[in-house]
Chains A and B, each alone.
Chain A
Amino acid sequence: MPSTYQIAQLKTRLASLSRHDTGGEPERFLLGIDRVDAYLDPGPCLFCLHDIHARTAADAVAANAFALGLATRATRERPMVWVFQNLAGQEAGGLNGSGLHEWGVSPDRVLIVRVRDATALLAAGEEALKSGAVGSVLMSGWGEARAMSLTASRRLALAARAGSSTAFVVRAASMSAPSAAETRWSVGSALSTGLEAGVPGRPAFVAALTRSRQGAAPAQWTLEWDRERRAFCEPAPVSGRRLSVPVPGSAAARGPAAGLRRTG
């Protein structure tokens, strides 16, 4: 007769084999900057939903890239799915294989799914999240869509939990709507740290954390992407910076002043 101890041991062993257990991996991921990671402590949650909002329509590329940065951090070595709405490709350009490679991800590991509308975007995203085959799923939508509701975001969050993958929804040219996201970001482009001879530098973002379920207060940082480390990094303090970054909570940070100047 097996003893109670043996049964308990078997139970723990079975539990460790079950799919939802991450097998000792931390359930968090880090952005790679000590200052930001300390603020977000214990870091954004894996296997849940994160919303990334482009500050203006012209910031869609920055929002996509920031989301890919987060996804790269969250995915580790697993494959990644990027569901892309065709309209977003027409407005801000289609995804570019060479660009992904130059960004620092291996394009072979990114599955690109092109869909026509927001409903198909959510359906394909949910399917990918539930499959359990991928580390993270990015969904890039464009414009207002009734399908992007609170219910839809709840479904995505549940699918992410069920399939042990992290969901990132990028939205451009739309108002922010209620969502079940763990963290919500508003992202825009920032001036890069110029290299010698006035050459544009690494990808740079102004990323504002607008909401966090962990209770962190809204805050804003200027980040750059270091593709060799596959991590975000602090921009080097160079005097040549032409645009000052708004202090969190200041009028400049609140207002939509950073949008495009329309001239005609």
Chain B
Amino acid sequence: MLVEKIRGALRLAALSPEACALGLTRGMTLADARARTPALSVVVHQPDADAALLRQVLDDFGRFTPMAALDGDAGLILDVTGCTHLFSDEAGLVRAVERRAGRIGLAVRTALAGTPEAARALARFGRSGQVYQPGQDRDAARTLPISAMELGEKDQQALTRAGLRTLGDLEDRPTAALAARFGSDLPVRLGRILGREDVRITPLRPPPPCVVDRILFEPITETTHVEAVIGDLLAEAAVWLEQRSLGGRAFEVAFFRLDGATRRITVRTGRATRDAPGVMRLFRERLAALASPLDPGFGFDQLRLSVPVTQTLMAAQPGFEAPSTATRDLDGLIDRLTARLGPEAVCRFEAVESHLPERAARLVWAGRRESGTPWPARDPESPPLRPFQMFDPPQPIETVSLAPDGPPARFRWRRVTHDVARAEGPERIGGEWWRRPNHRTRDYYRVEDRDGRRFWLFRAGFYGDDPEPRWYIHGLFA
């Protein structure tokens, strides 16, 4: 049995069937329970670990239907509309769920009914493992005790005192009186449990527009087999997409492992595509570059390919003498490098409207379509005014200046002294006070030392300020 600390006392949080048979109940203090039954084996309750396990089970149960959601802290709800035929019929599906849960080592109660609330109430308070056909679930729900409403203790007591024992009793009462006494929530709840009102569940993952499944008779472990299956799935998805004139911008493969672990791997593409071999190449790159490699354990018994993001993609007629394929090749290259190195490693520069040098250009993912602001105009007469390579953050240097407001005559950077031969400046760049109020004004100098190396130095602050101005090196010119 599990215990947790509530209001200063260790109380029972969950009990085994044997403990229930001994008359122990949830919420009882551990001391009381020990007094009644001295030989108790007690484990501390870990709600976080429970939630994590439930999440994992939910991921695994994604194999039954894409519409799966958590229900409370100990339940799962699966919307199996249109999925039952995969398991021969509804009873087959329920059996498959129970078998699967049993294999993971869980004790479960199941019910299949017309609405999520009905299924929940029937699973918890009715007979487990039952499949209720339309109409049957209502009759079954009417025989459930009042506790199936899962009301507060007070309300439940009030209803019991009034002589209402089952949901059927409750339904026979006029709604208005119940709503007046217990709030309008109660009739709504009742209606949902009895199947008069149907609400959809919100699945943990929104179901993607295109899903292709492969349930494997024999679990697979070899990479080549996994790749072959992904290739088949991609080819199937490509046909599906082509029939609807769609292309995918993201492809996700879910690997369902025999022991219940699930791994999802996604590749994204810069433009919509349904080119199965091309996406397969991306998956190969991605699988090879995974930080924690795909662990097949005892094997995968199901693979599911889904296309969560789609876009209209009309069939293109290839020219006989193919014209420039350069942009398509470049997009392919960007996708391959992104699959291998991640989107933050494959980028290009984009201009930003800012006069702060470190903000004037930023790196964006290279596959992005929209272009930013135009780059500022160059003065054809002047040499480059911005450094070729820049330090982030600027590095402090020690300087010797001839005049307080002039460029340094000599500076020391990384333990090397440089004598300044030529200098240009200052170029005064004020801080962006609307972003960082205490930003100090900088005076930038382009200097060249006697060895012919060019540096971009700046002084942050003015002489006579408190604190003293500091010198930094911000970049190197070619």
A residues at B contact (CB < 8 Å):
17, 58-59, 61-62, 64-66, 78-79, 81, 89, 92-104, 106-108, 110-115, 120, 123-124, 127-128, 131-134, 188-192, 194-195, 197-206, 225, 227-228, 242-243, 258, 260-264
> Are the CB atoms of A262 and B333 closer together than 8 Å?
no
Q: Which 10 A-B pairs have the closest CB atoms?
A: A97-B361, A97-B349, A65-B478, A133-B329, A93-B389, A102-B384, A203-B478, A107-B349, A133-B330, A200-B448
Q: Can you name the residue of chain B whose Cβ is closest to the Cβ of A205?
A: B478
> Nearest-CB distance from B448 to chain A (Å)?
4
Give bound CA distance, A102 to B387, whole Å. 8
> Nearest-CB distance from A159 to chain B (Å)?
12
Give bound CA distance, A120 to B391, whole Å. 23
* Proximity string of chain B (410-427) to chain A, C-beta cutoff 8 Å, 1 when within and 0 when not: 000001110001111000
> Are the CB atoms of A200 and B451 closer together than 8 Å?
no
> Are the CB atoms of B333 and A128 closer together than 8 Å?
yes
> Are the CB atoms of B388 and A65 closer together than 8 Å?
yes
Residues of A within 8 A of B120 (CB): none
> Are the CB atoms of A200 and B454 closer together than 8 Å?
yes
Residues of A within 8 A of B477 (CB): 61, 200, 203
Residues of A within 8 A of B361 (CB): 96-98, 101, 107
Give bound CA distance, A191 to B449, whole Å. 8
Give bound CA distance, A114 to B346, whole Å. 7
Give bound CA distance, A189 to B259, whole Å. 62
| CB contact list, B338-358 vs A, under 8 A | 340-341, 344-351, 357
> Are the CB atoms of B371 and A258 closer together than 8 Å?
no
Other than the given A61-B388, A198-B422, A204-B452, 7 more pairs (CB < 8 A) read A61-B478, A97-B349, A101-B375, A101-B386, A134-B333, A198-B423, A201-B383
> Are the CB atoms of A103 and B384 closer together than 8 Å?
yes
Q: Does B134 contact A (CB under 8 A)?
A: no
Residues of B within 8 A of A228 (CB): 380
Q: Does B104 contact A (CB under 8 A)?
A: no
> Are the CB atoms of A96 and B366 closer together than 8 Å?
no
A interface, over-half SS:
mixed
B interface, over-half SS:
mixed
Residues of A within 8 A of B131 (CB): none
Residues of B within 8 A of A261 (CB): 416-417
> Are the CB atoms of B346 and A111 closer together than 8 Å?
yes
**A66, A103, A205 — most chain B CB neighbours (10 Å):** A103
> Are the CB atoms of A203 and B384 closer together than 8 Å?
yes
Give bound CA distance, A58 to B336, whole Å. 34
> Nearest-CB distance from B42 to chain A (Å)?
49
Q: Can you name the residue of chain A whose Cβ is closest to the Cβ of B450?
A: A242
The one of B371, B375, B424 that contacts A200, using a Cβ cutoff of 8 Å? B424
> Are the CB atoms of B378 and A101 closer together than 8 Å?
yes
> Are the CB atoms of B422 and A227 closer together than 8 Å?
no
Q: Can you name the residue of chain A whose Cβ is closest to the Cβ of B321?
A: A17
> Are the CB atoms of B422 and A194 closer together than 8 Å?
yes
> Are the CB atoms of B346 and A113 closer together than 8 Å?
yes
> Are the CB atoms of A99 and B380 closer together than 8 Å?
no
A-B contact pairs, 23 of them (CB 8 A): A93-B476, A94-B392, A96-B357, A96-B387, A98-B351, A98-B375, A99-B388, A99-B389, A100-B349, A101-B349, A103-B478, A104-B378, A110-B349, A111-B330, A111-B333, A111-B366, A112-B363, A132-B329, A133-B329, A191-B450, A199-B422, A200-B422, A200-B424
Residues of A within 8 A of B424 (CB): 197, 199-200
Q: Does B264 contact A (CB under 8 A)?
A: no
> Are the CB atoms of B383 and A200 closer together than 8 Å?
yes
Interface size class of B (residues with CB under 8 A): 35 or more
The one of B337, B344, B453 that contacts A189, using a Cβ cutoff of 8 Å? B453
> Nearest-CB distance from B370 to chain A (Å)?
12
The one of B341, B357, B388, B451 that contacts A113, using a Cβ cutoff of 8 Å? B341
Give bound CA distance, A62 to B387, whole Å. 12
> Nearest-CB distance from B242 to chain A (Å)?
25
> Are the CB atoms of B362 and A97 closer together than 8 Å?
yes
Q: Does B447 contact A (CB under 8 A)?
A: yes
Q: Does B162 contact A (CB under 8 A)?
A: no
The one of B344, B363, B415 that contacts A264, using a Cβ cutoff of 8 Å? B415
Residues of B within 8 A of A258 (CB): 451
Q: Does B44 contact A (CB under 8 A)?
A: no
> Are the CB atoms of A94 and B389 closer together than 8 Å?
yes
Q: Does B122 contact A (CB under 8 A)?
A: no
Give bound CA distance, A111 to B350, whole Å. 11
> Are the CB atoms of A203 and B349 closer together than 8 Å?
no
The one of B332, B340, B357, B375 that contacts A131, using a Cβ cutoff of 8 Å? B332
> Are the CB atoms of A113 and B326 closer together than 8 Å?
no
Q: Does B83 contact A (CB under 8 A)?
A: no
The one of B341, B386, B415, B423 that contacts A99, using a Cβ cutoff of 8 Å? B386
| CB contact list, B425-478 vs A, under 8 A | 446-448, 450-454, 475-478
Give bound CA distance, A115 to B422, whole Å. 36
Contacts A98-B357, A203-B384; is A92 near B476 (CB within 8 Å)?
Answer: yes
Give bound CA distance, A115 to B334, whole Å. 14
* Proximity string of chain B (150-186) to chain A, C-beta cutoff 8 Å, 1 when within and 0 when not: 0000000000000000000000000000000000000
> Are the CB atoms of A96 and B333 closer together than 8 Å?
no
> Nearest-CB distance from B38 to chain A (Å)?
61
Residues of B within 8 A of A202 (CB): 383-384
Q: Does B385 contact A (CB under 8 A)?
A: yes
> Nearest-CB distance from A97 to chain B (Å)?
3
Give bound CA distance, A161 to B377, whole Å. 37
